[in-house]
A and B are shown apart, each in its own frame.
Chain A
């Protein structure tokens, strides 16, 4: 994956670049808004990470300009401003996701990968999702493991769908809380854990292969391999 990082703080830029490079992605760094815009317009990238406050041209104007020029590369906005209004401003201007500083590199990577996947896989008339032996019926709102069909509650279904659409990807509790519930504050560890447990009770019967993995301090993942 080719990633453009537009970030004026060298330390943050190197944290982003290091983490992405370690995971085999190719990173180009721009340190001003103007340079970043020029690069984004001229070269094809898979994802852009964009600092909200930049010299010369700020992040909001930059992403707005990109969208005006029909560049639809997914943009992860990174900002020290955690307020919901700031987030909404960022997303309204054309950003696709919003990450608050200080962030953990895992979560940054996870968000970039989720964005990339969302861009890459978007089959229009999909009626089911398959991850290993798990089949999610997107119309009947049920989950099937083997020949067992489980009825899921609305929230459980949204949670499972989010995990399955990003199979193999570690998703932090914040990401889950934002995507599944639409709330933008830290819910603490326990809340999401309880919902995950409920899913496990329905989808991981004794003797079955564990489906959802908990990575302490990092988040949750559905293993995509068979």
Chain B
């Protein structure tokens, strides 16, 4: 189990570092296997064709040679040299070769190849090479009077056939390899494109957009089946998430009417004349606490509302630099009062595709938090910079910061780090920022500012602007 896990992790790290490569893809490997099998089949086929043809040709050559040899052997000794000369003269194509050798091996007549010493003269066909370098198949026999008769026939055709077949094998094999490789790359590119689409969709899901579905090609292939299965799972997950969110929202929604009524009742009682001072104080405190609770519900429902908003609704090009200036102007007096230096660092002007009012609400929340958690004499910097991977908006303070293990949690509803407990607020400021950032497809990062916290909003949307 652990081994499998480690292998999968290794594989995943490969995939993430190298991306998907064509030569890793299944279609490419399959094409490679099929191509190899095809080439092997062609070798076998051409081999069989060659074997059959060569066998037939040799038998034919041997038949002709044997017949010619028998014809000459039947002649009388005195007629033989003349008959050999005549045969050579009539053989215009020089297909045959002849030789008549004396008992001690001296050539008497003919142009055929020398018979190597020790070769049996047993009428068995043999391959020899003549003085022109041609392959010749010969039959040698000892004549009744002791001389040796050799009749041969040219087999260059066979060599030619072997050459032709080998050539066709090389050419067709090469062509198959090239076509197969190209087809493999094309096929795998097609499936890789689909995998890339699936990968993009799953990244969107990972980012929290549960409404995303895996794209289907409509061909009903195995990738489609796989995507369908994932889509069904996503539907289930989305429904569950909606249910959970629904329960939370319903609680906030249902509780606020009775709470509003309780507040109204307390408010009425607090206006009763001649109320003892102690009772009036208690009532005021109760009302204040109820107001805090209602404020939290309001913020909670505000988050739901932002999350439910149509992404494209009010998104248009917004001058972010001017938002930073507005935030600086709005919060300067608050910072001064808290003894905190508030500065803005605006590099080049930046325009982002955003809902300007929501983005300002996010920025205001961040600046408000930064001032709230800054020690007196601290410094809060609101800034805009343009690193290569897209412009980003940041707010940096010198407060206690947020512990690494808490950073993900603070973006969730109602979470407040331990050191935040003393500060007022609904505890939902960063969650509202998180919801606004998610709505835009921006990125949000919390970092250690040594000391303090730096919150960065990456303004390059993760999806293309509408």
Instruction: Kindly specify which of A49-57, A66-74, A121-129, A190-198 makes contact with the partner chain.
Output: A190-198
Q: Tell whether B271 is near chain A: CB-to-CB under 8 Å.
A: yes
B260 / chain A contacts, CB cutoff of 8 Å = 11-12, 15, 101-105
Contact indicator B357/A191 (Cβ below 8 Å):
no
Contact indicator B268/A187 (Cβ below 8 Å):
no
Q: Tell whether B85 is near chain A: CB-to-CB under 8 Å.
A: no
Within 8 A of A (CB), among B398-437: 424-425
Instruction: Kindly specify which of A140-148, A162-170, A177-185 makes contact with the partner chain.
Output: A177-185
Contact indicator B364/A216 (Cβ below 8 Å):
no
A184 / chain B contacts, CB cutoff of 8 Å = 357
Instruction: Kindly specify which of A38-46, A79-87, A90-98, A202-210 makes contact with the partner chain.
Output: A79-87
Distance of A186 Cα from B302 Cα, bound (Å): 11
Distance of A187 Cα from B330 Cα, bound (Å): 10
Size category of the binding interface on chain B: 35 or more
Contact indicator A11/B261 (Cβ below 8 Å):
yes
Distance of A156 Cα from B298 Cα, bound (Å): 28
Contact indicator A82/B364 (Cβ below 8 Å):
no
Within 8 A of A (CB), among B156-209: none
Contact indicator A190/B334 (Cβ below 8 Å):
yes
Q: Tell whether A189 is near chain B: CB-to-CB under 8 Å.
A: yes
Interface size on A, residues (CB 8 A): 36
Distance of A84 Cα from B356 Cα, bound (Å): 11
Closest chain A residue, CB of each to CB of B260: A102
Q: Tell whether A137 is near chain B: CB-to-CB under 8 Å.
A: no
A82-B305, A102-B298, A104-B294 known; A191-B264 Cβ under 8 A: no
Within 8 A of B (CB), among A1-58: 9, 11-12, 15, 18-19, 22
A187 / chain B contacts, CB cutoff of 8 Å = 364, 368
Q: Give the interface centre of A19, A102, A183, A187 by most chain B CB atoms within 10 Å.
A: A102
Closest chain A residue, CB of each to CB of B256: A102
A102-B257, A185-B364, A191-B334 known; A83-B424 Cβ under 8 A: no
Q: Tell whether A100 is near chain B: CB-to-CB under 8 Å.
A: yes
Distance (whole angstroms) from the CB of A40 to the closest CB of chain B: 25
Within 8 A of A (CB), among B296-341: 297-299, 301-302, 305-306, 309, 313-314, 330-331, 333-334, 336-337
B256 / chain A contacts, CB cutoff of 8 Å = 101-102
Contact indicator B288/A18 (Cβ below 8 Å):
no
A101 / chain B contacts, CB cutoff of 8 Å = 256, 260
Q: Tell whether B284 is near chain A: CB-to-CB under 8 Å.
A: yes
B360 / chain A contacts, CB cutoff of 8 Å = 183
**The residue from A82, A83, A85, A181 contacting B330, defined by CB atoms under 8 A apart:** A181
Distance (whole angstroms) from the CB of A183 to the closest CB of chain B: 7
Distance (whole angstroms) from the CB of A113 to the closest CB of chain B: 16
Distance of A191 Cα from B364 Cα, bound (Å): 11
Closest chain A residue, CB of each to CB of B287: A217
Distance of A106 Cα from B261 Cα, bound (Å): 13
Distance of A83 Cα from B310 Cα, bound (Å): 12
A185 / chain B contacts, CB cutoff of 8 Å = 361, 364
Q: Give the interface centre of A82, A184, A188 by most chain B CB atoms within 10 Å.
A: A188
B291 / chain A contacts, CB cutoff of 8 Å = 104, 217
Closest chain A residue, CB of each to CB of B290: A104
Distance of A105 Cα from B264 Cα, bound (Å): 7
B268 / chain A contacts, CB cutoff of 8 Å = 18, 22
Contact indicator B298/A100 (Cβ below 8 Å):
yes
Q: Tell whether B259 is near chain A: CB-to-CB under 8 Å.
A: yes
Distance of A188 Cα from B51 Cα, bound (Å): 95
Closest chain A residue, CB of each to CB of B371: A190
A82-B302, A188-B424 known; A106-B267 Cβ under 8 A: yes
Contact indicator A105/B263 (Cβ below 8 Å):
yes
Q: Tell whether B295 is near chain A: CB-to-CB under 8 Å.
A: yes
Contact indicator B294/A102 (Cβ below 8 Å):
yes
Contact indicator A22/B271 (Cβ below 8 Å):
yes
Closest chain B residue, CB of each to CB of A189: B424
| Residue-wise interface mask of B (240-254) relative to A, using a CB-CB cutoff of 8 A (1 in contact, 0 not) | 000000000000010
B333 / chain A contacts, CB cutoff of 8 Å = 194-195, 198
Distance of A105 Cα from B267 Cα, bound (Å): 8
A85-B313, A102-B294 known; A15-B284 Cβ under 8 A: no
Contact indicator A191/B331 (Cβ below 8 Å):
yes
B305 / chain A contacts, CB cutoff of 8 Å = 81-83
Contact indicator B424/A18 (Cβ below 8 Å):
no
**The residue from B257, B271, B284, B361 contacting A12, defined by CB atoms under 8 A apart:** B257
Distance (whole angstroms) from the CB of A77 to the closest CB of chain B: 16
Distance of A189 Cα from B258 Cα, bound (Å): 25
Closest chain B residue, CB of each to CB of A185: B361
A191 / chain B contacts, CB cutoff of 8 Å = 330-331, 334, 368
Distance (whole angstroms) from the CB of B312 to the closest CB of chain A: 12
B271 / chain A contacts, CB cutoff of 8 Å = 22
Distance (whole angstroms) from the CB of A95 to the closest CB of chain B: 18
Contact indicator B284/A102 (Cβ below 8 Å):
no
Sample of 15 A–B contacts (CB below 8 Å): A82-B301, A83-B309, A84-B358, A85-B313, A100-B298, A102-B297, A105-B260, A106-B267, A183-B360, A183-B361, A184-B357, A187-B364, A188-B424, A194-B337, A197-B337
A contacts, CB < 8 Å to B: 9, 11-12, 15, 18-19, 22, 80-85, 100-106, 181, 183-191, 194-195, 197-198, 216-217
| A-B pairs, 9 with minimum CB distance | A102-B256, A185-B361, A194-B334, A217-B288, A194-B333, A102-B260, A194-B337, A15-B264, A84-B357
Give me 19 other A-B pairs in contact (C-beta within 8 A), A183-B361, A191-B334 excluded: A12-B257, A19-B267, A82-B298, A83-B309, A85-B314, A102-B256, A102-B257, A102-B294, A102-B297, A104-B263, A183-B360, A185-B361, A186-B295, A187-B364, A190-B368, A194-B334, A197-B337, A216-B284, A217-B287
